[in-house]
């Protein structure tokens, strides 16, 4: 992947845009795996399957979650760096979603 | 792209890339006639459905629109329409002749029953198939083509690779004078602001916000939680969490050029460039609507894979997900998984899509055509 502003890691994963709070796993990741994005190092804390996302910073409950340089939803609980980010801890802000 | 494009110029002075003889039913109970005609005469394209009696309002409008406009698609060489009673058949033929000079024949089942209609219809279809077989390819330009853009079975690879690669192809198409229509109104929710910035003028921007809001309001009026509806379960399994995330990836297939306008359901594009069509999001319904809007070919970006096609316009499946290439490779036309391993750039992947498109325009079969995935879904419910 060489899209503009994207940063890659030795474990294949990707932060799509600078400032994104999540990265994309391009291979299955397990607890303990180390991912690196330049100077940013993220230790994976639980399994993250291919195509799924993990936090590259601590995200507080109620905080917007950023991917593609834009808001993809809001955290429904505190999310620790390295954790799997999905429907169990983020929610859409649209169509009246609570 | 170095190869020249070719197609079939029809009586409407439009370029088809196929020469379908469409055998089209107007009512659910004409299906038997259409299917038996298709059994008897090789090379016809049956178009059947479960509707055609007592529809009202928007349903009636949409059904009539799909049945007529699918037949008007440039890839349709000629039409045999099969209806139950004479009035609806006469009305259909009159509406068709008002806009098209292409050949149309008809059969009325109530004249003498299904067996007689099969006999009569098969003879008429035979004549059309022989005529269609005489059509010859001639040079066409990119500006003679309208591309549909669709994503389906999306996962997170769609947003980072197959949609952007299709977007590279879309930019190429537009730079060379072509037209592209993307659709699925639910799947711009959360990305309206980006599309609105690309709108050619303020009124198009306003309409982009308006159709997205109307779609969102409709979801809310049903009390629908979009999670589980859109994104659907296979999207969620693939890693997509919210409609915003799906939309931000989905719009990348429309490239980076200006959005020239917002079209109604099945409305043909009035000019060149990229248009958005307000429509429901189910794949079979969108493909039917894009073909009805006049798209001769549809680019379909997929993550987890999807076998769906449509009857009159070839559907080109593009995936970047190596697992989909492995598991559903029968349904994949363009494998760009090398983007995800870092072995190809999006630009290279986009070029691969354009090369595939060139071959398919010129007659190479898509997987959906070869596998008889010729879905026709003229009356969509849902969002």
Give the pLDDT score at A9.
53
- Asked if B74 and B296 count as a contact pair (C-beta separation under 8 A), the reply is yes
Q: Domain B20-134, CATH 3.40.50.170 — does that match? A: no
DSSP state of B118: H
- Asked if B281 and B187 count as a contact pair (C-beta separation under 8 A), the reply is yes
Residue B3 has pLDDT above 90, yes or no: no
Nearest to B128 by CA among B77, B74, B68: B77
Give the pLDDT score at A90.
96
Q: In angstroms, rounded to a whole number, what is the distance separating the alpha carbons of residues B7 and B16? A: 5
Bridge-based pairing state of the strands B315-319 and B334-335: parallel
A7-91 has which fold?
Answer: 2.30.130
DSSP state of B374: -
A96–B339 CB contact, under 8 Å: no
Going B283 to B285 to B287 to B293, the CA torsion angle's sign is: negative
B244–A3 CB contact, under 8 Å: no
User: Where residue B381 falls among pLDDT bands split at 50, 70, 90?
Assistant: low
More confident call, B329 vs B226: B329
- Asked if B33 and B117 count as a contact pair (C-beta separation under 8 A), the reply is yes
> What's the average model confidence in pLDDT over B179-186?
96
Q: In angstroms, rounded to a whole number, what is the distance separating the alpha carbons of residues B300 and B305? A: 10
In chain A, which residues have their Cβ closer than 8 Å to the Cβ of B220? Answer: 95-96
Peptide linkage before B231 cis (omega within 30 of 0): yes
Give the pLDDT score at B382.
66
Q: Choose among B157, B219, B245: nearest Cβ to A67.
A: B245
> What's the average model confidence in pLDDT over B23-49?
97
More confident call, B18 vs A8: B18
Name the token pair of B108. Answer: 């009325």
B226–A95 CB contact, under 8 Å: yes
In chain B, which residues have their Cβ closer than 8 Å to the Cβ of A12? Answer: 340-342
Name the token pair of B371. Answer: 């596998």
> What's the average model confidence in pLDDT over B49-62?
89
Domain boundaries, chain A: 7-91
In sequence order, which residues have a C-beta less than 8 Å from that of residue B128 and are 6 or more positions away? B21, B44, B77, B78, B79, B80, B103, B105
User: Where residue A1 falls among pLDDT bands split at 50, 70, 90?
Assistant: very low
- Asked if B360 and B145 count as a contact pair (C-beta separation under 8 A), the reply is no
Element (H, E) at B199: none
User: Where residue B383 falls among pLDDT bands split at 50, 70, 90?
Assistant: low
**Chain B residues with a Cβ under 8 Å from any Cβ in chain A:** 155-157, 159-161, 164, 189-191, 194, 216, 219-220, 224-227, 236, 238-239, 241-245, 248-249, 303, 321, 323, 339-342, 345-346
| Alpha helices per DSSP H over B100-179 | 113-133, 156-157, 163-175
Q: Choose among A8, A51, A71: nearest Cβ to B157.
A: A51
Bridge-based pairing state of the strands A40-43 and A22-25: unpaired
User: Where residue B191 falls among pLDDT bands split at 50, 70, 90?
Assistant: very high
pLDDT digits (tens, 9 = 90+) for A41-95: 999 999 999 999 999 999 999 999 999 999 999 999 999 999 999 999 999 998 7
In chain A, which residues have their Cβ closer than 8 Å to the Cβ of B224? Answer: 95
Q: Coil, helix or strand for B75?
A: coil
Residue A2 has pLDDT above 50, yes or no: no
Residue B321 has pLDDT above 50, yes or no: yes
Give the pLDDT score at B230.
78
Q: What is the ipTM of this complex?
A: 0.90
User: Where residue B49 falls among pLDDT bands split at 50, 70, 90?
Assistant: very high
pLDDT digits (tens, 9 = 90+) for B215-270: 988 888 887 777 667 788 889 999 999 999 999 999 999 999 999 999 999 999 99
Name the token pair of B183. Answer: 């659709």
Residue A98 has pLDDT above 70, yes or no: no
**Mutation target among B157, B190, B250 for the A interface, most CBs of A within 10 A:** B190
Element (H, E) at B235: helix B233-237
**Phi, psi dihedral angles at B364 (to 5 degrees):** -60, 140
Residue B343 has pLDDT above 70, yes or no: yes
- Asked if B226 and A94 count as a contact pair (C-beta separation under 8 A), the reply is yes
B242–A90 CB contact, under 8 Å: yes
Domain boundaries, chain B: 20-134, 142-370
A93–B160 CB contact, under 8 Å: no
Q: Choose among B224, B244, B341: nearest Cβ to A72.
A: B244
């Amino acid at each position: 992947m060489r899209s503009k502003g994207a940063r890659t890691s030795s474990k294949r994963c990707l932060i799509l845009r600078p400032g994104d709070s999540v990265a994309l796993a391009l291979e299955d990741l397990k607890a303990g795996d180390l991912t690196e994005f330049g100077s940013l190092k993220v230790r994976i804390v639980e399994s993250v399957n291919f195509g799924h996302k993990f936090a590259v910073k601590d995200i507080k409950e109620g905080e917007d979650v950023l991917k593609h340089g834009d808001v993809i939803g809001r955290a429904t609980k505190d999310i620790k760096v390295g954790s799997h980010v999905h429907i169990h801890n983020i929610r859409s802000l649209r169509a009246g979603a609570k | 792209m170095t190869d020249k494009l070719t197609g079939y110029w029809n009586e409407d002075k439009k370029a088809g890339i196929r020469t379908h003889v469409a055998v089209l039913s107007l009512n659910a109970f004409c299906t038997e006639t259409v299917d038996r005609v298709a059994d008897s005469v090789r090379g016809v394209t049956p178009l059947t459905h479960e509707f055609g009696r007592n529809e009202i309002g928007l349903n009636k409008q949409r059904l009539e629109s799909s049945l007529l406009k699918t037949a008007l698609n440039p890839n349709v060489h000629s039409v045999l329409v099969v209806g139950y009673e004479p009035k609806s058949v006469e009305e259909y033929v009159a509406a068709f002749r008002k806009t098209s000079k292409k050949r149309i024949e008809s059969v009325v089942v109530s004249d003498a029953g299904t067996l007689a209609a099969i006999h009569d219809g098969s003879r008429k279809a035979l004549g059309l198939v022989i005529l269609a077989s005489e059509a010859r390819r001639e040079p066409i330009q990119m500006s003679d083509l309208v591309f549909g853009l669709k994503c389906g079975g999306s996962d997170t690879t769609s947003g980072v690779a197959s949609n952007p690669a299709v977007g590279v192809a879309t930019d190429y198409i537009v730079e060379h004078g072509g037209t592209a229509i993307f659709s699925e109104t639910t799947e711009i929710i959360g990305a309206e602001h980006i599309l609105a910035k690309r709108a050619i003028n303020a009124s198009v921007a306003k309409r982009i916000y308006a159709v997205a809001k109307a779609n969102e309001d409709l979801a809310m009026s049903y009390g629908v939680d979009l999670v589980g509806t859109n994104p659907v379960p296979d999207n969620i399994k693939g890693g997509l969490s919210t409609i915003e995330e799906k939309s931000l990836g989905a719009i990348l297939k429309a490239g980076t050029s200006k959005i020239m306008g917002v079209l109604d359901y099945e409305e043909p594009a009035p000019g060149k460039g990229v248009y958005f069509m307000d429509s429901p999001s189910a794949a079979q319904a969108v493909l039917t609507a894009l073909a009805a809007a006049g798209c001769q070919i549809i680019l379909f970006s997929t993550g987890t894979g999807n076998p769906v096609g449509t009857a009159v316009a070839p559907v080109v499946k593009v995936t970047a997900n190596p697992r989909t290439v492995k598991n559903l490779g029968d349904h994949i036309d363009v494998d760009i998984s090398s983007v995800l391993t870092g072995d190809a750039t999006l630009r290279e992947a986009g070029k691969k899509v354009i090369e595939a498109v060139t071959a398919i325009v010129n007659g190479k079969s898509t997987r959906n055509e070869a596998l008889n995935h010729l879905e026709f879904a003229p009356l969509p419910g849902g969002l």
